[in-house]
Amino acid sequence: MRWLAAVIGLAIAASFPAAFGHGFGGDQAPPLDLNGRDVTVSTLLTPYDLDVDDAEEVNVQVKFFYLDTKETLPQVTYRIDIWNDGQLDRELLARNFFFDEDGRLDIKVVPKAGCDKDKLHQCTKYFGSGHTSAPGDTDGGALHVFGEKCNNDNLDTCARPQVSGPIFTKGGLYNIKVLIDAATSSNALVPDDLNLEFDTFVSVAQEQDFELPSPTGPDPIRVPIKTYYDDVGNFAFDRNTRTVSFDMEFDWSPDYVELVPIVHEEVGISHEFAQTYGTGFRGFVNGIEVGTGSDHPNGLLPNLDGLGSGIVHFLLDTEMLQDIAEKTGQDGPGKMLFELVAGEPVPTKSARAELVKIQEDETQVPVDVDVDVSWPAERGYGDEIPFLLEFRDTDGKIIPDILYEVALYDHDRQELIEKFDGKPVTGIPVLEELDGGPVKAITASEGIDVQVIKIPQDASQYRLDVKVIGSGVVDFVPTYAGIGSALLEISDSMMGDASPAPPRDAPPRPAPAPTPAPADPPAAVSIPAWIKTNAGLWVDGLIDDVTFASSLQFLINQGVISVGGAEQGEATSSGIPSWIKQSTGLWVDGQVDDATFAGSLQFLIRQGIIQIV
């Protein structure tokens, strides 16, 4: 089954600096003062990427600790509330007191759907013993289980209180509210005027299925949409404009928008979708463009393979949302409309930085991180260039929650042009010990980021230095720490020759040729094996695009090649897109089948690059 997947997440938290972590399965609250020292609470779900369909058992870890050292406080009594925090249906799901000896509390949560009570929390059940001296609602005191202490490796066997009820049974945002009732001793109550109450937020995914017609056959393309906040609806696909759209309810009130740290959506693109509609994408939210070329270059981040399939991320932070609200005049409950417009990709240049760690004896040890850097080929001297950075492990997988800094140098003159190091990151002692104070870092939450840098001078070569500090703020690890450099070939700007993008206030409606779905099943695909030889010559650059397209056109018209049904587009002199050559190379090497290569030829026919009679 062909697929186009979309994953939609919206995470909302109380307003706090970017230094404090907030992720789908973990969060750290802003600090509060306790006797002259900052203390805070973090929450962490296991599994971290929780899907409601797989939520048979969830571990909720709660830590109460000093911000500067990460040292947990002993003998803590917590009051914990769990709320379903959707905008329209906020409801209490669980509330109880818990006691833990060492400042790390682990709770086993067993989701149970279905509740016949007036209030959902009335269906929640609690399992554990009441601590004799820690105050709580349970007979005998706060819930506590004696036995083996919990760590990351023994959750199946350690002593944990258990909560069972309608918790994590629906996708969306959950507020885990933590009140510290006592600390350092089971009966050392926190004075009421201190009010050590912390709000943390986690998200749970829920999948919704949609379909769109396939232009190459009778089977529809399945479109599963996974939402982390609220149900999405009004899914549509406009074939004439190649636009995928959907919406969800959103409160655009200024006070509410200020509390939203990020709106995150992932739109998965299948190989078939990319071959049919293109591998370049523009994104719009309520008609306002986000992504490269807009005022918000980090609002749309692609993570695509050579064939154009993969994920396109919408990442909208508070400032972006406020800008969208201001430009559209929205205020109060309404909708958030997402539009992803497919088309031909903008030509890019690329480079790679391979990271190493410098030892005390100045030897270099490779780090399992590569940083892929790309930028629009048309941009050069004098332009503001959006550099797309992708942090990948040696298997090519994106690494999330990367903390990094980056600097651009004139490599020949060894002169610094510009440095980006983000905001101070506090609460990670190892960083403060190494650098003598809070480290500044940029956070790439999805392992992808854009830095816009103006190239002010004409040099033969530029160097981008990347320093990775580690990954994670809620659960920081220095595993990926290292430094590396990528040499960038910057040339003259071609922006004066480029076709301007549509105005930002214009409707997001480019008009590529329509590709109506066939009424009948497509004809069989037939491609002689010897065609691969000629295709290989084109892939290797031994014959040009015009010669290759002409030979394919002749063979199709003579009946030597049969590629199934494809409606002829108007003749054009446009060149063959680069992704077609990448796809053909995989076909020549036997990595994709004839039907996949036929899909590429159908695309060329619909675009008018190949003319059939």
Note the pLDDT tens digit of each residue in 241-283: 889 898 988 889 998 888 777 777 788 888 778 877 888 899 9
pLDDT at 106: 96
Extract the tokens encoding 480.
């990926």
Q: How confident is the model at residue 513 (pLDDT cuts 50, 70, 90)?
A: very low
> Which domains does the chain show, CATH number per domain?
25-203 (no CATH), 206-343 (no CATH), 348-490 (2.60.40.1930), 525-606 (no CATH)
Least confident of 32-36, 290-294, 506-510, 582-586: 506-510
Tell me whether the omega of the peptide bond preceding residue 456 falls within 30 degrees of 0, making it cis: no
The sign of the CA dihedral 42, 21, 205, 400 is: negative
- Cα pseudo-dihedral 466, 407, 284, 225, rounded to 10: 10
Among 580, 613, 612, residue whose Cα is nearest residue 599: 580
Least confident of 334-338, 534-538, 563-567, 583-587: 563-567
Tell me how far apart the alpha carbons of residues 459 and 481 are, in angstroms, rounded to a whole number. Answer: 30
Q: In the 3-class helix/strand/coil scheme, how is 445-489 assigned residue by residue?
A: CCCEEEEEEECCCCCCCEEEEEEEEEECCCCCECCCCEEEEEEEC
Note the pLDDT tens digit of each residue in 49-87: 788 888 889 999 999 999 888 889 998 999 999 998 755
Q: Which residue has the higher pLDDT, 575 or 396?
A: 396
Q: How confident is the model at residue 288 (pLDDT cuts 50, 70, 90)?
A: very high
Least confident of 150-159, 222-231, 280-289: 222-231
Note the pLDDT tens digit of each residue in 329-380: 888 888 999 999 988 777 888 889 999 998 888 888 999 889 999 888 888 8
Query: Has residue 525 got a pLDDT over 70?
Result: no
Q: Which residues contact 329 (CB under 8 A, 6 or more apart)?
A: none
pLDDT at 17: 31
Query: Has residue 127 got a pLDDT over 60?
Result: yes
pLDDT at 509: 37
Residue showing tokens 């925090």: 85
Q: Which residue has the higher pLDDT, 460 or 283?
A: 283
Query: Has residue 506 got a pLDDT over 60?
Result: no
Beta strand segments in 271-347, E: 280-285, 288-290, 300-304, 310-317, 333-343
Q: What percent of the chain has pLDDT over 90?
A: 22
pLDDT at 86: 59
Helices (H), ranges, 158-238: none
Note the pLDDT tens digit of each residue in 290-324: 988 788 888 888 888 777 788 888 888 888 999 99
